């Protein structure tokens, strides 16, 4: 394998890991097993170590987790919430012990704790009062979930002692409470949670604290990050302080100076973990001494004084009776194995994920096979391998359907992707997600039309797709729950106003696979009218520099589907703008369009179409420069939504202020 192939593999790994980070840490909807994710990370670490010339500061190995989601305020952590390095076998624990002793000497004490399978949070107290709580987020910045954490009864709102301190822990849900919650949701006709971790994470990140209060959440605290006026010697002392203060600390602490004892402990709890009333997916081993921790320090990603021992996946054999296909909210068709029930990892399993068509082919999985399934932690199980020696010849091969089993639309598999997708925008399995996407801020920006209202509209059969929004009237809306006269009139006004949106917003709002805000802007600029885009050939699309074969194929497939064309006809009849005629936002200086070289920009606020890094790259790629503060030498301040004090400073100094529309015209 030459260097170009190595570089491509590294970049592909980075992209895949970023995607799974987003699914796991932002959306709380993991799509692969922990063991699969760990193998991706390990492979990337190996390649980057072997080929340091391909180092990248934004690689997933250089950071922790994913970005915080919208909807909550941001909290900058006082110190990074680093992840832990993982050990998967006893030899890796011995290697950790050897590294520690080589740096601090042989006199080392370790503390072992349960690795609780929940959601990491940080709690802050001032003079004994709880003042702030946040999620981990990306390790540097988390979400402010203070009001939600106040509803967790095991978190004291006032400590027993007037400490000013910061602690970190794990919010979780016990197995018994998880089963009760799912039973209640099933009776109410609501979707059930996949596992206790997802239930805890989803509950804590509700925008309405009343929903969080109705969920049986709990917490264990495991780290004291800072405390005013107290000198800390070791970890065990911090646990005593937290316990005395009334905080609920980790329920298991094991102290030893022998790594052999730790290894024996890991083996013991590998067998006993299912006996606990809550889920753990390993043990955490920490150096006890704070002085030694300081000497050991940390890498940019992990502390050198701690490691997590991950339990091996548990396996069992059963028979695969049938393969059914489910359609997710993104239109992906997912094959699922229906199994003879078998007990594994503390619960009875009757189905397992088969991921995609390639997974079935690679493992030669057939209906009627005896298969080995595994369950790492409490995720949805997966088929690991087939017991080939037990085949009878009666097993049947499986084929992915050519038509969506829900709505009957054509299915498509884009070249280079594993997923088979439904192409029908009217598919009931997708409609809720697509409508919520259509009305979102970056799309048609229909204020007041949140997920709860969309659910009511669908539940009352008032709409089938986004096009039906433009045919709603006052009498239909006034009967909805929590919709008064003012709310109805405001919503109808927002729907009407959205008809005048720019074409790029409509294109993005249609929910075409792979078409984000940037691609939508490029398509609107190129074709000027939605009808031109509908008639565009693949070659027409590929003539746009940033549009590749996958996006072109996705766009063409979207406009070939009859259901999508019916949606567009509804929008046309409703008077939605299909043309790319930009509305003037003020007088423009056309001499700015190509005058980038040497110009200094300051960015402030949130941009609709670009991340800060995207905007910076565009400016620097044209010879400009982005700086962090406004001065008399600043040429332009690019102001997005909710700009900060930099905008006031620019006005004071008379620096030219431009909005995003102006910036786009410069591009």
| pLDDT of the residue at 63 | 40
Q: How confident is the model at residue 516 (pLDDT cuts 50, 70, 90)?
A: confident
Per-residue pLDDT of 334-350, as tens digits, reads 899 999 998 876 667 88
Architecture of domain 422-574: Orthogonal Bundle (1.10)
The 8 Å CB, 24+ separation contacts for 229-235 are: 229/164, 230/163, 232/290, 233/289, 233/290, 233/291, 234/109, 234/288, 234/289, 234/290, 235/111, 235/286, 235/287, 235/288, 235/289, 235/290
Per-residue pLDDT of 192-208, as tens digits, reads 777 788 889 888 888 77
- Check whether 293 has a pLDDT greater than 50: yes
Assigned fold of 3-62:
Helix Hairpins (1.10.287)
Q: How confident is the model at residue 517 (pLDDT cuts 50, 70, 90)?
A: confident
Active site residues: 115
The span from the CA of 351 to the CA of 333, in Å, is 16
Q: How confident is the model at residue 25 (pLDDT cuts 50, 70, 90)?
A: very low
Q: Which residue has the higher pLDDT, 579 or 187?
A: 579
Residue 112 has phi, psi (to 5 degrees) of: -110, 140
Report which secondary-structure segment, H or E, holds 337. strand 332-344
Lowest-confidence region among 222-226, 505-509, 515-519, 648-652: 648-652
Average pLDDT over residues 243-248: 91
Which tokens go with 190? 């609501």
Which tokens go with 275? 């006996």
Assigned fold of 74-310:
D-amino Acid Aminotransferase; Chain A, domain 1 (3.30.470)
Average pLDDT over residues 2-25: 79
Assigned fold of 590-666:
Rossmann fold (3.40.50)
Lowest-confidence region among 9-18, 30-39, 317-326, 463-472: 30-39
Q: CB under 8 Å to 192, separation ≥6 — which residues?
A: 182, 185, 186
Q: Which of 283, 236, 281 is nearest to 255 (CA)?
A: 236
Q: Which residue has the higher pLDDT, 159 or 424?
A: 159
Determine what percent of the chain is predicted with pLDDT higher than 90. Answer: 40
- Check whether 588 has a pLDDT greater than 60: no
Please report, for the chain, the start and end positions of each structural domain, with discontinuous segments joined by +: 3-62, 74-310, 314-390, 422-574, 590-666
Kindly report the CATH number that applies to the domain delimited by 314-390.
2.40.50.140
| pLDDT of the residue at 429 | 65
- Check whether 61 has a pLDDT greater than 80: no
Per-residue pLDDT of 430-443, as tens digits, reads 788 789 899 998 89
The span from the CA of 145 to the CA of 116, in Å, is 20
């Amino acid at each position: 394998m030459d260097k170009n192939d190595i570089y491509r593999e590294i970049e592909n790994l980075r992209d895949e890991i970023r995607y799974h980070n987003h699914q796991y840490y932002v959306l709380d909807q993991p799509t692969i097993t922990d063991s699969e994710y760990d193998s991706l990370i390990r492979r990337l670490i190996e390649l980057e170590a072997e080929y340091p010339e391909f180092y990248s500061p934004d690689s997933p190995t250089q950071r922790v987790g994913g970005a915080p989601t919208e909807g909550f305020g941001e909290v900058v952590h006082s110190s990074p919430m680093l992840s832990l390095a993982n050990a998967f076998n006893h030899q890796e624990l011995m290697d950790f012990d050897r590294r520690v002793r080589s740096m601090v000497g042989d006199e080392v004490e370790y503390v072992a704790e349960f690795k609780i399978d929940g959601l990491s949070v940080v709690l802050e107290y001032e003079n004994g009062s709880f003042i702030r709580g946040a999620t981990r987020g990306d390790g540097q910045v988390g979400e402010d979930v203070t009001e939600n954490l106040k509803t967790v009864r095991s978190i004291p709102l006032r400590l027993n002692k007037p400490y000013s301190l910061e602690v970190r822990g794990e919010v979780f849900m016990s197995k018994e409470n998880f089963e009760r919650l799912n039973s209640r949701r099933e009776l109410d006709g609501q979707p059930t949670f996949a596992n206790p971790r997802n239930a805890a994470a989803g509950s804590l990140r509700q925008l309405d604290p009343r929903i969080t209060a109705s969920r049986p959440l709990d917490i264990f605290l495991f780290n004291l990050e800072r405390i005013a006026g107290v000198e800390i010697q070791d970890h065990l002392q911090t646990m005593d302080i937290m316990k005395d203060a009334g905080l609920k600390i980790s329920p298991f602490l094991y102290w030893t100076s022998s790594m052999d004892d730790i290894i024996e402990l890991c083996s013991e709890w590998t067998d006993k973990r299912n006996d606990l009333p809550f889920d753990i997916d390993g043990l955490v081993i920490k150096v006890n001494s704070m002085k030694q921790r300081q000497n050991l320090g940390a890498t940019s990603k992990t502390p050198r004084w701690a490691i997590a021992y991950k339990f091996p996946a548990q396996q069992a054999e059963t028979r695969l009776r049938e393969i059914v296909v489910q359609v997710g909210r993104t239109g992906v068709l997912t094959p699922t194995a229906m199994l003879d029930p078998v007990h594994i990892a503390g619960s009875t399993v009757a189905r397992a994920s088969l991921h995609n068509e390639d997974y079935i082919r690679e493992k030669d999985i057939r209906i009627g096979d005896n298969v080995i399934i595994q369950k790492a932690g409490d995720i949805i199980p997966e088929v690991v391998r087939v017991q080939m020696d037990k085949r009878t010849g009666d097993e049947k091969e499986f084929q992915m359907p050519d038509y969506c089993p829900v709505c009957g639309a054509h299915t498509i598999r884009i070249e280079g992707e594993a997923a088979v997708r439904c192409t029908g925008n009217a598919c009931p399995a997708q409609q809720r997600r697509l409508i919520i996407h259509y009305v979102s801020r970056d799309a048609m920006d229909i204020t007041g039309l949140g997920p709860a209202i969309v659910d009511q509209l669908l539940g009352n059969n008032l709409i089938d797709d986004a096009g039906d929004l433009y045919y709603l009237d006052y009498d239909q809306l006034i009967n909805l729950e929590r919709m008064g006269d003012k709310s109805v009139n405001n919503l109808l006004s927002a729907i009407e106003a959205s008809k005048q949106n720019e074409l790029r917003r409509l294109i993005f709002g249609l929910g075409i696979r792979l078409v984000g805000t940037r691609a939508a802007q490029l398509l609107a600029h190129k074709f000027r009218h939605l009808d031109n885009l509908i008639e565009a050939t693949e070659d027409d699309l590929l003539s746009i520099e940033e549009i590749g074969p996958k996006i072109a194929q996705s766009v063409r497939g979207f406009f070939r589907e009859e259901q999508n064309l019916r949606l567009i006809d509804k929008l046309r009849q409703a008077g939605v703008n299909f043309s790319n005629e930009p509305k003037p936002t003020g007088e423009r200086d056309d001499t700015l369009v190509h005058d980038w070289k040497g110009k200094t920009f300051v960015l402030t606020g949130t941009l609709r179409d670009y991340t800060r890094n995207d905007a910076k790259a565009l400016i620097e790629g044209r010879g400009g420069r982005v700086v962090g503060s406004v001065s008399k030498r600043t040429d332009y301040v690019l102001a997005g939504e909710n700009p900060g004090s930099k905008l006031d400073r620019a006005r004071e100094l008379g620096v030219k202020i431009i909005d995003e529309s102006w910036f786009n015209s410069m591009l």
